[in-house]
Amino acid sequence: MTHRPEPSPVRRRTLLRGAAVGGAAAVAAPLLRLPAARAAGIDSGSYRIRYDNGARQTILGLGFEIQSDSIASGNKGLPDLVSGVPFDLTPGERTRFYRQILKVRADRGFRYCRLALGLYHRGLDATGKHLVDRYPGQTELLAEMVREAGIEGIAAEYWSPAPGWKSNNSFVKGGTLASFDPAFLDRLGDAMVADLDHLAARGVPVVMWGLQNEPDVSTDYSSCTYDAAQYLAAFKAVAPKIRAKYPNVMIHADSQHGWNGPRGRAVLADPQALSCVDAWTFHRIGSDSNQQITEDFTSGAAGKLVFNNEFEYLRPTSPFDRTLNTAQSIMNWMTFQNSPTWFWLHALKPTTNSESQGYSLGFWRPPSDTDFGHHPNIKPGHWDVNPENWNAVAGFVRYLPWDSVRHHVEEPVHEDGTPYRDHRIMAWRTPEGKQVFAITNRSATTPFTYTVDTGTAAAFQGHRFGPAVHNRTLSTVNGPTLALTVPPLSIEFWVRAS
């Protein structure tokens, strides 16, 4: 694949704001309506991709989180154990991790890496007010990962400020800031800028910043709570300092309920604070992908972008197939909410942690884990994929390159005007102009036939994913109209072949 110059971060922030306005038309665009007789037992549908004049938002690329330090099983505290990735992996396994999970393509894969400050990067200086490496070389290893995997940079976000700033002098059990006096918040802002300086000086570029992950949640692991007035005061003090030192960083709020919670609404009501917001971030953890069809995440966004920056499953079991639901979450955030990105929680989780099955794209075995009664195929310092989660995300990392432009699809709807929920479609052009679309069948029992008008006589090559299927190559078919029967519990990517 040929490279094109990347947009500068300043231009990208302008581009993002424009994408939010332009993409809003996608929600209101008319859909094709099928006769009511088809609504009861759906096994097929007709679709028209508007590659001619249906351009919507620019999709920047996907994100993931990295666990570069330890957390107790079940999220029950912060152990002294030094354990994380890439640290625990052997040199060969680091390279394989970078290439087979994070990069995937020859040029790049994931664009953003979310880093939990005060949790997975929680070393402290002598004052207890600045975050530094907890073990030698921690940040340099992150820099290696960013460089070798072709990641643009880190989405830095606090799970807790350094304890020296907190009311309970601790990373854990919530607490809030020790003071909200202006002079105190001014010094806090300087310290948070210095935390980013620590990363940047060691080769870790920072491209996003958030004040606090889930600011109304107190946990046994790193957390800090703010009510609406406290969040607004801290944000107004710190965000302008972040913007001044790192003008190209995307600043987001509130990393839980976006604009639609009390903290977000406090920011919305304050013009000074709102001027620092580039995007609203939501957590809809493991939720049914239908939520992005039925609920409103955009009307109160004040022209800012919206996206989900954490998705995982709190339990391995769910009322729907995880693989298909996750794929449709990505598609529906982008199709119905015009999101420019989407984040999975963890690239890898340790074999020792009970939450790993629902949280991870893969598992690694820390050297300290000598219990081979579980994950017996994974040697210490090695990793393996978690297929149900990885197969849901992998196709988008591979076939949705950075800066692809989504195109509108005219699609069938039920008699009440709502779109099909188990059969989703999303189309885009890559930066080089190649046409691609993804289709799903979330039914567990019934195949579904898509009749897709691509508007071109060109051939398309298919690639299938599913709970136990990874990138299976399908036969090439010729346009302009493609008849594609998708098996139950399958995701397919169709890429123009000529």
pLDDT tens digits for range 375-417: 999 999 999 999 999 999 999 999 999 999 999 999 999 988 9
For residue 417, give its domain range: 28-58+403-496
Phi, psi of 490 (to 5 degrees): -135, 150
Phi, psi of 268 (to 5 degrees): -55, -35
DSSP designation for 17: H
pLDDT confidence of residue 4: 30
pLDDT confidence of residue 41: 67
Residue 9 lies in a domain: no
Instruction: Report the distance separating Cα 30 and Cα 32, nearest Å.
Output: 7
User: In the chain, pLDDT over 90 holds for what percent of residues?
Assistant: 90
Instruction: Report the distance separating Cα 205 and Cα 365, nearest Å.
Output: 28
Residue 1 lies in a domain: no
Q: Rounded to whole angstroms, what are the CA distances from 293 to 27, 81, 100, 193?
A: 10, 43, 32, 38
Domain end residue (candidates: 399, 422, 440): 399
Amino acid at 196: L
Q: Tell me which H or E stretch contains 155.
A: strand 153-158
Print the SS3 string covering 423-481. CCEEEEECCCCCEEEEEEECCCCCCEEEEEECCCCCEEEEEEEECCEEEEEEEEEECCE
Q: Rounded to whole angstroms, what are the CA distances from 383 to 90, 100, 147, 268, 311?
A: 10, 11, 20, 43, 21
Amino acid at 35: P
Torsion of CA 309, 19, 109, 428, to 10 degrees: 120
Q: Is residue 97 classed as helix, strand or coil in its secondary structure?
A: helix
- CB environment 437-466: b (16+ within 10 A), e (fewer): bbbbbbbeeeebebebbbbbeeebbbbbbb
Q: Would you state the structure tokens that stand for residue 269, as one six-digit string?
A: 């009501």
Q: Rounded to whole angstroms, what are the CA distances from 65 to 111, 198, 342, 396?
A: 11, 19, 11, 16
Clarify whether residues 459 and 471 are in a common domain.
Answer: yes
pLDDT confidence of residue 358: 96
Instruction: Report the distance separating Cα 277 and Cα 294, nearest Å.
Output: 25
DSSP designation for 214: S
Clarify whether residues 53 and 102 are in a common domain.
Answer: no
Q: Is the CA virtual torsion 32, 430, 58, 487 positive or negative?
A: positive
CATH number of the domain at 47, please: 2.60.40.1180
| Secondary structure (DSSP) of 259-324 | GGSHHHHHHHT-HHHHTT-SEEEEE-TT--TTHHHHS-SSTTSTT-EEEEEE---SSS--SS-HHH
pLDDT confidence of residue 316: 74
Alpha-carbon Rg for the chain, nearest whole angstrom, is 22
pLDDT confidence of residue 319: 74
Helix axes 9-28, 322-336, angle to 10 degrees: 100
CATH number of the domain at 346, please: 3.20.20.80
Alpha helices in 71-111 (DSSP H): 91-97
First to last CA, the chain: 14
Clarify whether residues 411 and 375 are in a common domain.
Answer: no
Residue 13 lies in a domain: no
Residue 14 lies in a domain: no
* Regions in the chain scoring below 70 on pLDDT: 1-41
Clarify whether residues 77 and 36 are in a common domain.
Answer: no
Clarify whether residues 457 and 372 are in a common domain.
Answer: no
Clarify whether residues 165 and 262 are in a common domain.
Answer: yes
Clarify whether residues 356 and 287 are in a common domain.
Answer: yes
| Secondary structure (DSSP) of 104-150 | -SSS----EEEEEETTTB-EE-TTSSSEE-SSTTHHHHHHHHHHHHT
Clarify whether residues 362 and 418 are in a common domain.
Answer: no
Q: Tell me which H or E stretch contains 207.
A: strand 206-210
Clarify whether residues 393 and 426 are in a common domain.
Answer: no
The string of pLDDT tens digits covering residues 4-44 is 333 333 334 444 444 443 433 333 333 444 333 344 468 99
Q: Is residue 351 classed as helix, strand or coil in its secondary structure?
A: coil
Domain end residue (candidates: 367, 399, 431): 399
Q: Would you state the structure tokens that stand for residue 328, as one six-digit string?
A: 């449709």
Residue 2 lies in a domain: no
Residues 441-445: contacts with CB within 8 Å, 24+ apart? 441/324, 441/486, 441/487, 441/488, 441/489, 441/490, 442/320, 442/321, 442/324, 442/325, 442/328, 442/489, 443/488, 443/489, 444/321, 444/488, 444/489, 445/488
Amino acid at 315: R
Q: How far is CA 169 from the centre of its chain?
A: 31
Clarify whether residues 47 and 68 are in a common domain.
Answer: no
Residue 198 lies in a domain: yes
Place of tokens 């939501």: 282
**Which residue in 388, 368, 390, 353 sits closest to 97, CA to CA?**
390
Domain end residue (candidates: 360, 381, 399): 399
Residue 23 lies in a domain: no
Residue 430 lies in a domain: yes
Instruction: Report the distance separating Cα 425 and Cα 410, nearest Å.
Output: 10
> Which residues have C-beta within 8 Å of that of residue 260, sequence separation ≥ 6?
297, 300
Clarify whether residues 47 and 65 are in a common domain.
Answer: no
> Do the beta carbons of residue 157 and residue 117 sit within 8 Å?
yes
Clarify whether residues 99 and 148 are in a common domain.
Answer: yes
Number of domains in the chain: 2
